[in-house]
Structure 1
Amino acid sequence: MSVTKKRKLNGESSISPLSTKDASPATESTPQNGQKSFADLGVMDSLCEACESLGYKNPTPIQAEAIPVALEGRDLIGVAETGSGKTAAFALPILQALLNHKGNLAFFALVLAPTRELAYQISQQFEALGSLISVKCAVLVGGIEMMPQSVALGKKPHIVVATPGRLMDHLEKTKGFSLRNLQYLVMDEADRLLDLDFGPQLDKLFKILPREHRHTYLFSATMSSKVENLQRASLRNPAKVSISSNEHQTVKTLLQSYIFLPLKHKDVYLVHMLTDLTGHSTIVFTRTVVEAQRIALLLRTLGLSAIPLHGQLSQSARLGALSKFRTKGRDVLVATDVAARGLDIPSVDAVINYDLPPDSKTYVHRVGRTARAGKSGKAVSLVSQYDVEVWLRIENALGKKLSEEPDMKEEAMMLKERVDEAQRVAMRELRSMQEGKGRKGGGLRQRHGGKRARDEMDREEG
């Protein structure tokens, strides 16, 4: 493919019309394997080139269905399983429209996301796909100071990615920030936006945003009655693209199983499994923040490379933990359900449900962190004598019985003495952190009691 000349988008004024070659869709032939290419969908040369540079060889099913509809100018509802490539499905049409637009390019598109991590991830993907045209993005999320975000808005970015609460803060308080010229609105993970009670902020936002000439995309893993009400309030005659008709569907390349064990031996079994998985990236899901922190300390005490991720960490610590796990600086991410939705961590080999999730929908999103984009993966759930009813409900929702792991009690219990000692060390460290919280308050960075714990956690999470 020929090298495309890099163009810079001007946030203050319109850009000159593209040449005929750049403005028209690329015209590469369909690959011999029968799969469509991005060019076949109507994506222009420069964006096809960006896809190729990022390793996107062929569109995923949601991309193949959604992109042509979006390029026609229709409002769009996209329903697809987690890890299906939804971000590029809305980012590419918006970037193509940005290139072809002849008016003001500042605040061209707004993307709403339910979590801070997902907002940063969406922004990074927009910038990567739009690298050849110098796309500028601003991220507006809570947990950090508003002033740097206000400065970023003052530079008139093309794309704003935000959580609803912080977006409303800026619309009410940041001088000169307005979305009256907005051309595109995207609500990503819409079901999660509503689960997190962002409904009131969304209602206020719809009263402010321009209705005319606005294209709206709603993407969700499931279609609940709340999402349908949101659709009626914000979209006009939308086209619906659904890749997964079953909200409890998991991908075929995912191997799922469970271990039935006594509650008192969960730590021993977990350590045995993670020892066998040494060198493989694994996410361990827990129900609570305290348990995530305790298990991370336990695993570190035993020499396993683990790092925690939960909602009580500072934003910089959360991003730092994700970065270390993505770059394989740490093998094990011990997380609450803050990591269950939306995050794109390309190479997760296994997911372990240390604590079972509260419902089947959360189970699907947790195990969807592995076996992404056609790759294989493994998900194992630890089921104690107190979890049987919850596990049976999950299996019923999945529509199948999952296989039980071979008996590993004998091998696992050989580790019991070491794990018992590590549990005592982890609990001492955890109590020190909690005492620090009582004295100082604030984020986990302020909770570390002893100097050794404080120094280690600062290194790991920074």
Structure 2
Amino acid sequence: MMVEAHLVDSKSTFSVFSHLLDARILRSLADMGFARPTLVQAKALPIALEGCDILARARTGSGKTAAYCIPIVQKILSAKSSLSASDEGYQVTRAIILVPTRELSEQVTTCLHSLLTYCEKEVIVVNSATGSSTHLQRALLADKPDIVISTPSRALGLLQSKTLNLSSLESFVIDEADLILSYGHDEDVRQIFTGGYLPKVYQSFLMSATMTDDVETLKGLALRSPAILKLEEDEDEASLLSQYSIQCSEVDKFLLTYVILKLRLIKGKCILFVNDVDRCYRLKLFLEQFSIKSCVLNSELPLNSRYHTVQEFNKGVYDYIIATDESGTHAEADYNDEPEEEGLQDGAGDELTSTQHVQTNPDEDIQLEPPSKKRKRPQKSPQPGPSKSKKQRHRTKSDKEYGVTRGVDFIDVACVLNFDLPTSSRSYTHRVGRTARAGRVGMSLSYVVPKDQWGKNKVVGCLESAKNDETVFAKIEKEQAARGSKIQEYKFDMKQVEAFRYRMDDALRSVTRSAIKEARIKELKTEIINSEKLKAHFEDNPLDLEYLRHDKPLHPTRIQAHMKHIPKYLLPRLAAAPALEVEEPKVGFAPFKKNSARGRGRGRGGRGGGGGSRGGKKKSDPLKKFR
């Protein structure tokens, strides 16, 4: 995973931990390019290897994953070194890692496999959060893997069916702790802790980017006398992110997106966030009308396809991803309605942004709670609400285990475009945290629909979440201002943009509801097939992955060839980048020149170019005029 330069501890190297870490781990870290530990790793490793519980608050991209993976692997190697392979306690599950989304589970698995390059036979890792069949899951867990990665709902199901046994557990990790409960996993987490599945003594890790009430709840459930690592954020680094907003109607969202992307006003990779799956495909089909390629990312697609799409985007194969942020409309929709939000400003308000770097204060970044404080046990888990059918419950959980605003490691994102404004300031912070990372500059652009403009267009203007855009945006501005950031108005000449409206209207009319439905079914079928290939064929033929594209045109609507290029009379005077579009037709014109020359020779003058042409000027013979 990519680690930001300013978060690296320049004063130490991993060789400092050579007396604590196995040589094979140090060798793997060198292969991964980790010469120096990050700040959170340098603080957490010695404490973790002593056996203390840890609550670490550090921003996304600070190296939290390796901070808990390294001590876990070390503890397992140490435990196994003192046992023989025939010993009953040699092969048992010693660690479980809970993550909020399946995408994050894949990234943690990749990190662990990289660490285990030279000891993969000694330590077995299983990711139970993948979409594998129950039969396959049971077969994998029957071997008692050393480390299990899962989402809370999947882990609870495996524990209840006795497929997973944690009686010998030594390490319990909750990654992205601030999201675990907000994604609807609260009841599952409580049942895991109170259901008698865990031993009395084990080490716990809580890793989080923010300190919320959810984290405090988990802290009471999971931790006992924890060491608290607080890596404070550097407010000066907020200048790396430029935030802009535009007040516009629902239809103008499409117009502005077309102009911005077609004129290359944003250079580099861009994530476009929408609030539901239908709008995801509507926007993709709309951009296809202008030959702007993009790929989609939503909870309907198979996990393997989603993960591969992110990997290819990070490699630079795709420039535009249209991501459906369903968490912004469901799991976190009530965040801003809580009365406690004002009271949390001074304690957690400046912790919400994941776009700033961190710095440590050696005297204050580690706090130890009094040892007399014992692990809290809740009196009784709350009774669930009205019972739902199994199908409904399963569908809800699968939706909640998808997430792209946090945890997923997007690399080199130049811009985040909030095509649909999220329903909470917290979700906004998570979205814009995808850019301005690793010391690079980035920008965010948000469309805000005024209340009087909502619902005017019955086809694209009835998005329920957009009704409260102005209220939500006011809260977003307030929170960003409290952190020293300002959201500026994106200024442009609307007269020049208006010239593109007739082309936009033509393209938008082509994207009908039936076309969206057809595209949605087609994409899902294609990606299901691709997902099977990714699981089977592509494991044996990794090079073939290059031929698997996720941004192929769906084309259920009519595509007009002339829409691909922008006429010269529409080009704004100040837009320099679109010159590429004007120069494209010049390619391959050579044959036409050759044909036209031959045509002139055999034209109206007859064969051989002689006189006698009707209606044309008679060509003079140079030999007759010669004297």
Question: TM-score scaled to structure 1, two decimals?
Answer: 0.81
Q: 1:392 to 1:460 in 2, by over 3 A?
A: same
- Out of 62, 65, 71, the residue aligned to residue 40 of structure 2 is 62
1:38 partner letter: F
What letter is aligned with 1:445?
A: K
**1:377–1:55: structure 2 CA closer, same or farther, 3 Å change rule?**
farther
CA distance in 1, matches of 2:431, 2:437: 12
Structure having the higher Rg? 2
Measured at CA, do residues 371 and 245 of structure 1 come closer, stay the same or move farther in structure 2, by a change above 3 Å? closer
Q: Shift of the alpha carbon at 1:170?
A: 1.9
Task: Give the letter aligned to residue 182 of structure 2.
Answer: D
Check conservation: 1:307, 1:333, Cα contact below 8 A: yes
Aligned pairs for 1:387-402 within 5 A: 387-398=469-480, 399=482, 400-402=485-487
Unpaired runs of at least 5, structure 2: 1-7, 84-89, 326-402, 452-468, 529-547, 553-627
Q: Which moved more, 1:353-362 or 1:372-381?
A: 372-381
> Contact 2:166–2:199 at 8 Å: present in 1 too?
no
State the alpha-carbon separation in 2 of the partners of residues 208 and 281 from structure 1. 47
Deviation string 1:110-163 (CA, Å, 9 cap, x unpaired) is 100111111111111111122122143111126442222222223332211001
Residue 54 of structure 1, CA deviation: 2.0
Count, aligned residues: 414
Per the alignment, residue 255 of structure 1 pairs with: 242
Distance 1:162 1:64, change over 3 A: same
1:373 has 2:438 as partner: yes
Corresponding residue SS for 1:52 = helix
- Cα distance change on mapping 1:98 and 1:278 into 2, 3 Å: same
Partner of 1:415: 500
Q: How does 1:127-166 map to 2 (within 5 A)?
A: 127-134=113-120, 135-141=123-129, 143-166=131-154
1:360 and 1:34 mapped to 2: Cα distance? Answer: 34
Q: Which amino acid aligns with 1:416?
A: R
Deviation digits for residues 371-423 of structure 1 (CA, Å, limit 9, x no counterpart): 22333322222223243332221121122422222315344334333332332
| 2:390 match | none
> TM-score normalized by structure 2?
0.61
Task: Determine the C-alpha separation between the residues in 2 that align with 1:65 and 1:422.
Answer: 55
The CA distance in 2 between the partners of 1:249 and 1:301, in whole Å, is 42
Q: Is the 8 A contact 1:182 1:214 kept in 2?
A: yes
**Greater relative CO (CA pairs within 8 A, separation 6+):** 2
Identity across the alignment (%): 30
Change (3 A) 1:124 1:271: same
Corresponding residue number in structure 2 for 1:429: 515
| Distance in 2 between residues matched to 1:418 and 1:321, nearest whole Å | 30
String of CA shifts for 1:326-385, please: whole Å, max 9, x gaps.
332221111122210110122222211111111111111111112223333222222232
RMSD (Å), alpha carbons: 3.0
Q: Which runs of 5+ in 1 are unaligned?
A: 1-31, 438-442, 449-457
Give the Cα separation in 2 of the matches to 1:249 and 1:86. 22
Any residues of structure 2 matched to 1:75-94 within 5 Å, and which? 75-94=53-72
Larger mean Cα displacement after TM superposition, 106-115 or 271-280: 271-280
Q: In the alignment, what sits opposite 2:109?
A: 123
Q: 3-state SS of the aligned residue for 1:349? A: strand
Paired letter, 1:392? A
| 2:570 aligned partner | none
Return 257-266 or 284-293, whichever deviates more: 257-266
Structure 2 CA distance for aligned equivalents of residues 57 and 293 of structure 1: 43
User: Is 1:227 the equivalent of 2:201?
Assistant: no
Aligned CA distance change for structure 1 residues 328 and 218 (closer, same or farther; 3 Å): same
Q: 1:412 to 1:147 in 2, by over 3 A?
A: farther
36-45 vs 394-403, greater mean Cα deviation: 36-45
Aligned twin of 1:460: 550
Task: Tell me how far 1:185 sits from its aligned partner.
Answer: 0.6
User: What letter is aligned with 1:148?
Assistant: L
C-alpha distance in 2 between matches for 1:343 and 1:326: 11
User: Secondary structure of the equivalent of 1:198?
Assistant: helix
Alignment pair present for 1:51 and 2:33: no
**Counterpart of 1:21?**
none
